[in-house]
Amino acid sequence: MDNSLGTIFRITSFGESHGELVGIIIDGVPAGLLLDLDFIQSELNKRKPAQSHLVTSRNEEDKLKVLSGVFNNRTTGAPVCLIIENKDIDSSYYEKYKNYLKPSHADYSAQMKYGGFSDYRGSGRLSGRITAGFVMAGAVAKQILEKYDIFIFAYTKSIGNIRDDEVYSLNEIENLTKLREKSPSRAINPEKAIQMEESIKEVKNQNDSIGGTVKCVVTNFPEGKGGPVFNSIESNISRAVFAIPAIKGIEFGAGFRSSKMKGSEHNDPWILKDGKIQTSKNDAGGIIGGISTGMPIEFTVAVKPTASIGILQKTIDIKNRKDVEIEFSGRHDPCIVPRIVSVIEAMTANVLLDCLLVEGYIPRILKVG
């Protein structure tokens, strides 16, 4: 159906926003991985609610629980099942307005698909809450990729009209990570970060919301991986990224700017540097013909404004077939971008690890670490 992703490193998502729990089943985890549970928890903490004044006040601990696939702290080769419980739940708003089609929510499309039987509380299965499972799987994938010196780093590139177009050295990812974690907006540039945070606070005070973009960079991914047609790295990353609620666009390398460039401007010249073949720039985003070039994989995603806003809006009472008005009084993010940063990293890790397992670059039994 619609809840699994991957070929060998295959993740299956389950749970709903206001159900008992959300979780992930990960099949194909190589045996022998010394699993760092503290690292998985730290990744969860980056996306959990109530972590700053810029996000929803829903106060969930998001405490990791391992149900299967790990013995004596190492993965066994069996499916790994990870969950977090839902505890801070208030469904009263959703019960009261269950017949109202909330603007830009999936109420109507879900009703049409599931015949009115889907869980409407907090958007149920269609909620961003399920991305906690994506992050747990991604944290496992990251631990394996890092053994092969493959690192994934994402950050907030823009909030509204405030953009950070600075080009950062990829040799300083550790320092960039420290800068990012100092900012509630998950931006790198301290000056831009403050401006972004002020912009989010402004729309929050107006009971409105705002969108932005997230840039993701992958370093040391080996060349020659991926496929030229239906298994291109771009298409597989895109499929995974669009599984994240609120994502509305993606571009690799120069992306949409390339439509305004000449071939002489966009082409990436091949050069030799320290005996290694690479390109002098990276407008291709590390992928040509769907296959990795060995250059950093770079892409940017567009995140829409949160649909739940406290401004009166017109809509329809679907049961009584009449026009009504609605405003949201629940606990919602004025901007979802900061919490999506860790999810982008996670889904990228899931896709790239699966690619390397399929191609035999990473074995099914780990002999390292």
- pLDDT tens digit sequence for 247-303: 999 999 999 999 999 999 999 999 999 999 999 999 999 999 999 999 999 999 999
Residue tagged 């159900």 (tokens): 19
Strand-pair category, 151-159 with 212-219 = antiparallel
Nearest 5°: the CA angle 265, 300, 159 is 115
Instruction: Quote the tokens at residue 289.
Output: 């013909």
Residues 246-259: b if buried by 16+ CB within 10 A, e if exposed: bbeebbbbbeeebe
Structural domain includes residue 114: yes
pLDDT of residue 98: 85
362 pLDDT above the threshold of 80: yes
Structural domain includes residue 364: no
> In whole angstroms, what is the distance from residue 241 CA to residue 28 CA?
21
Structural domain includes residue 76: yes
Structural domain includes residue 367: no
Q: In the predicted model, what is the mean pLDDT of residues 103-109?
A: 88
pLDDT in tens, 156-176: 999 999 999 998 887 888 889
58 pLDDT above the threshold of 80: no
70 pLDDT above the threshold of 90: yes
Phi and psi for 204 in degrees, rounded to 5?
-65, -45
How many domains does one find in the chain?
Answer: 1
Instruction: Quote the tokens at residue 183.
Output: 């900012």
pLDDT in tens, 236-253: 999 999 999 999 999 999
CA–CA distances in Å: residue 164 to residues 156, 167, 196, 233, 298: 8, 9, 10, 26, 15
pTM, rounded to two decimals: 0.94
Residue tagged 């907030």 (tokens): 156
Widest pairwise Cα distance in the chain: 72
Instruction: Quote the tokens at residue 109.
Output: 């499309």
pLDDT of residue 360: 95
88 pLDDT above the threshold of 90: no
Structural domain includes residue 70: yes
CB 367 within 8 A of CB 34: no
Confidence bin at 1 (pLDDT 50/70/90):
low
369 pLDDT above the threshold of 80: no
Structural domain includes residue 240: yes
Residue range(s) defining the domain that contains residue 192: 4-358
CB 11 within 8 A of CB 4: yes
CATH number for the domain harbouring residue 183? 3.60.150.10
Structural domain includes residue 368: no
Structural domain includes residue 20: yes
pLDDT of residue 94: 79
